[in-house]
Amino acid sequence: MSAFRCRAALPLLLALAAATSARAQPDAAAEPAAAGTEVAAAEPEASRDAQADALVRDYPGLDPLPLATLLLSDGHGDRAAGVLDRIDLERAARDRRFDWARYHTLRALIAQGNDDTDAAIAAFEAAIAASDAIVAARAAGERPRGEDPGFGTVDELVYLYLAQAHFNRDRHRAAIAVLERAGDRLDRLPGAWNLRAHAHWLVGDQQQAFDLLARAGALFPANTSFLRRTVFYLVEAGLFQEAARVGAAYLAQAQAGAADYLAIGTALRRSRALDEAIALLEAGRLRHPDDDGLAKALAQALLDRGRPLAAAEVLAPVAERDPSLTAEAAELFRRAGHLQRALNLNARVPETERRLKQRVGLLLQQRRYDLVAGMEEALARARLLADEDIRYALAYALFRGGRHEEAERHLAALTRADLFRKSTELRRLMAECADQRWKCA
């Protein structure tokens, strides 16, 4: 079991260990080997592995369930499984002191650590069934293992882990059913509320999801994750004005950072709620003026709204800090019709090929054909004449400058069908100019 997976199971392992400690026999609690494991985490991995092996080998009399819990909490899932494998289950079935709920819970955590979700689900279900049997026996007046109230029952986290396992298998209704079975056991866990709400959302029960998030927000007023999730659900449901209103409340309550503004603003933009996205992103920029991500998102929203000049004004200062955005800022000014500002920015584009290509387009749009023709040598050095669009643009500029023979040389190199048709038309115009020069003056 990896360290990451062990950490994911740590809350439940700690609960198991605490229950084990409360019920430990005095002589087992004083075993020197158990004390030695306290410092194992600070030792090299090989040393820890050796100590785990020694613990299993040298103290065969230890209760296997506490031993397996200890090994599993230290990341030794395989060794914990080995301890459980050596239990005589037939004998355990006759032993009223054997804790089946704990046994199946450990099996479930081991399976979960090995990415065997189906086995984990089956083991968690078995743990709950064993726990239910103990509870029923107590209700009938029996006293399994004396008066110990914790014996044979599962920790509340078992229900949450089981629901999460179903959720990870896209069995959202099964996850909801498990959470319902848990009753109020999980009400104190914010993660359970988020999981239940999201499962309801994914099965199409949107109102129930909203209701659950509202109840959770009232139970945990300091936890803003419920309000945040509500915002994204509102966006997904197409309720953009309400999403903007709740989003503003969340951002104020959560003392949100730039990433929160960016996430909500981007969600609104992608849902085409452009006015709401722009308003929220502008508010974010006021609070975080140096965040380039917010500026880029705002520029995109403004462009989508058909406001290229406003987008260019937002992006241009960012391009001063991040030269890789200079070409985009120049393009925005071009779209807005501010060609000279676009050219000024184009001169600072760091990538030669990109700068030259963009410059050709800008100069053609300004009808400055002589300047385009003068770029022939630079385009050749950058090997951009292999781009047939660039070669045709150069041929057209040469034609407009009256340099027909040079234009024909470039037209002859074109092979693309669409450009071949354009070059045929250009040749026709050049022939007319040769016959009647006054037409091309």
Given this model, what pLDDT does residue 298 score?
97
- Within-domain flag for 330: no
For the chain, the domain total comes to 3
Q: Mean pLDDT over residues 244-265, rounded?
A: 88
Instruction: Return the residue matching tokens 């987008």.
Output: 311
Question: Residues 128, 35: one domain?
Answer: yes
The percent of residues in the chain predicted with pLDDT above 70, rounded, is: 83
Q: What's the CATH code of the domain at 279?
A: 1.25.40.10
Same domain, 20 and 109: yes
Query: Over the stretch 343-365, which tens digit does the pLDDT of each residue have?
Result: 999 999 999 999 999 999 999 99
Interval 74-88: pLDDT, tens: 888 888 888 888 888
Residues 6+ apart with CB under 8 A from 379: 356, 360, 385, 390, 394
Residue 6 has pLDDT above 50, yes or no: no
Does 12 share its domain with 118?
A: yes
Whether 15 and 136 map to the same domain: the answer is yes
pLDDT of 23 strictly over 90: no
| pLDDT tens-digit map of 173-196 | 999 999 999 999 899 999 999 999
Residue 15's pLDDT band (cuts 50, 70, 90): low
Question: Can you read off the two tokens belonging to residue 96?
Answer: 């009223």
Look at residue 16 in the predicted model and tell me its pLDDT: 62
Q: pLDDT tens for residues 300-338?
A: 999 999 999 999 999 999 999 999 999 999 999 999 999
Q: Residue 408 falls within a domain, yes or no?
A: yes
Per the CB < 8 A criterion, the answer to whether 203 and 173 are in contact is: yes
Is residue 168 domain-resident? no
Whether 94 and 228 share a structural domain: no
**Domain edge (last residue) among 113, 128, 155:** 155
In a domain, 143, yes or no: yes
Q: Which residues, including other chains, have CB under 8 Å from residue 367's CB and lie 6 or more apart?
A: 400
Single-letter code of the amino acid located at 12: L
Q: Tell me if 203 is assigned to some domain.
A: no
Q: Please report the pLDDT score of residue 139 as a whole number.
A: 80
- Assigned domain for 406 exists: yes
- In a shared domain, residues 5 and 147: yes
Angle at 226 between CA 225 and CA 228, to 5 degrees: 65
Classify residue 215: in a domain, yes or no.
no
Same domain, yes or no: 378 and 300: no
In a domain, 423, yes or no: yes
The reply to whether the predicted model has a pTM over 0.85 is: no
Burial of 245 (0-12, 13-18, 19+ CB in 10 A): middle
Domain boundary among 286, 306, 326: 306
Residues 5 and 146 placed together within one structural domain of the fold? yes
Return the minimum-mean-pLDDT range out of 8-12, 29-33, 352-356: 29-33
Whether 239 and 128 share a structural domain: no
Instruction: Specify whether the CB–CB gap between 362 and 334 falls below 8 A.
Output: yes
Torsion, Cα of 307, 313, 315, 318 (10° steps): -170
Percent of the chain with pLDDT over 90: 56
Structural domain span for residue 414: 373-441
Are 71 and 147 contained in the same domain? yes
The SS3 assignment for 141 reads coil
Is the domain of 397 the same as that of 294? no
Q: Which of 306, 322, 340 is where one domain is finished?
A: 306
Q: 347 is written with which tokens?
A: 């001169």
119 plus 235 within the same structural domain: no
